[in-house]
Amino acid sequence: MMTYWTILLAVEATETAAEGGLFDFDATLPLMAVQFLLLVVLLNIVFYKPLTKAIDSREEYVRKNLLDAKERTTKADKLALQYEQELGETRRKAQSTIAAAQEDAQKIAAQKMAAAQQEAQAQREQAAQEIEQQKAQAMASLEQEVDSLSRQILEKLLGSELVK
């Protein structure tokens, strides 16, 4: 019985091989083509269009944020440059103010120094005059004492009668 079944299967296999080959162009081929096209249209409507829409909106969002970032960067660079210029100008003004203040302080110090030197010179001159006056007074008083001492010496030596 086994041989019978083997023969039957072999006959069936030869009949099916004779009917169709590698490509069988019966009604299934157009049906498969229509199914494929319907699948493509359905996938396009359901999957690809929303996906491409989401990708496009995301791309637009990224592009917009990138442009905004570039604009902000440009504005920040301009502000930084402006602040640097203002800072440089402020520093120059501050340096000129400091230089003017130092110059004024030097002038005031020089004036006070000159006034102090003049005052010291005046005090020296006044002290020298006082010393001269005291010297003159001392000399005058010494002359009087020398005269009186010389008279006393003469009186004692020569006697009181000759000197008068």
Q: What is the pLDDT of residues 78-134, one digit of tens each?
A: 999 999 999 999 999 999 999 999 999 999 999 999 999 999 999 999 999 999 999
Mean pLDDT, rounded, of the chain: 85
**pTM above 0.95?**
no
Give the integer Cα–Cα distance in Å for 73 and 68: 8
Predicted confidence band at 149 (pLDDT cuts at 50, 70, 90)? Answer: confident
Residue 3: pLDDT above 80?
no
Give the integer Cα–Cα distance in Å for 143 and 135: 12
Asked whether the beta carbons of 9 and 16 are under 8 A apart, the reply is no
Residue 157: pLDDT above 90?
no
pLDDT, one tens digit per residue, over 24-75 is 566 777 788 889 999 989 988 888 888 899 999 999 999 999 999 999 999 9
For residue 155, with 0-12 CB atoms within 10 Å meaning exposed, 13-18 middle and 19 or more buried, which class applies? middle
The structure tokens 């400091």 sit at: 98
